[in-house]
Amino acid sequence: MVSVLVNTTQGQFVSEQELVEVTSKLNLEYWLEKNFLLSACLPAFGCKSVLKLAAADEGLQTAAYQFGQNLGYFLKAHQEINWYLNPRANSRDYLDFCALPVVMHSVETGEPLEHLALTGGEQQGPKLPKYDYSALHQLVRSGPGLVKSKTVLEMFRANAFTNLNHFPDSAARDCLKKLLSAINI
């Protein structure tokens, strides 16, 4: 539990600081690191802890951890992709500049996206630029980032299924598989 609290706190700090050097953070490795801390560590450690308390062998504990991690990534990626698919998304709402569709857009196009920084006016914090989130939303919706993000999303789903298959048949395993299958874009 302490690891989860430390990771979540560190993830929040990382998120708040990412706009300082945003272009160097538009990569999948950064997205995975940040979202493990914010979204995947709780299900990963939670799943492993349940099996540890049940005295399951190390192999099943590892499979449970990896299932929880992939589930956390899957749910976060799903949330971010849906925001970009929603034509009525309010661009005035806070938008994670390092969301998976933005990252994949930048990776696929090589576009650094600095041109979306607004000059003058309101700043988001000391020396942090404010970005034109409406333009970012339109750019990502029309580019290759959403398609690539869906591929990454499906990779997380497949990894979660693979890890579930390490467990014996049970009603719980079937429910988790149905849940993963039901969440679609």
Cα–Cα distance for residue pair 158/165, rounded to 1 Å: 11
Q: What are phi and psi of 117, to 5 degrees?
A: -70, 135
> How many Cα atoms sit within 13 Å of 5 on the Cβ side?
2
Q: Tell whether the model's pLDDT for residue 120 goes beyond 80.
A: no
Contact assessment for residue 40 and residue 68, using Cβ atoms and an 8 Å cutoff:
yes
Handedness of CA 175, 33, 184, 90 (dihedral sign): positive
Q: Tell whether the model's pLDDT for residue 13 goes beyond 50.
A: no
Task: Report the amino acid identity of residue 151.
Answer: T
For 63-67, 71-75, 141-145, which range has the lowest pLDDT when averaged over its residues? 141-145
Average pLDDT, the chain: 82
HEC-encoded secondary structure of 88-133: CCCCCCCCCCCCHHHHHHHHHHCCCCHHHEECCCCCCECCECEECH
Cα–Cα distance for residue pair 170/119, rounded to 1 Å: 57
For 4-13, 32-41, 147-156, which range has the lowest pLDDT when averaged over its residues? 4-13
Interval 127-150: pLDDT, tens: 555 667 778 888 888 999 999 999
Q: What are phi and psi of 132, to 5 degrees?
A: -85, 90
> How many Cα atoms sit within 13 Å of 24 on the Cβ side?
4
Q: Tell whether the model's pLDDT for residue 95 goes beyond 70.
A: no
Higher pLDDT: 20 or 96? It is: 96
The mean per-residue pLDDT over the stretch 89-117 comes to: 78
CATH class of 2-182: mainly alpha
Q: Tell whether the model's pLDDT for residue 40 goes beyond 70.
A: yes
Nearest to 26 by CA among 107, 128, 96: 107
The mean per-residue pLDDT over the stretch 97-110 comes to: 91
What residue segments make up the domains of the chain, in order of their start? 2-182
Determine the pLDDT at residue 121. 45
Cα–Cα distance for residue pair 154/134, rounded to 1 Å: 27
Contact assessment for residue 81 and residue 100, using Cβ atoms and an 8 Å cutoff:
yes
Q: Tell whether the model's pLDDT for residue 14 goes beyond 90.
A: no
Determine the pLDDT at residue 116. 74
The mean per-residue pLDDT over the stretch 165-171 comes to: 95
Nearest to 159 by CA among 92, 72, 90: 72
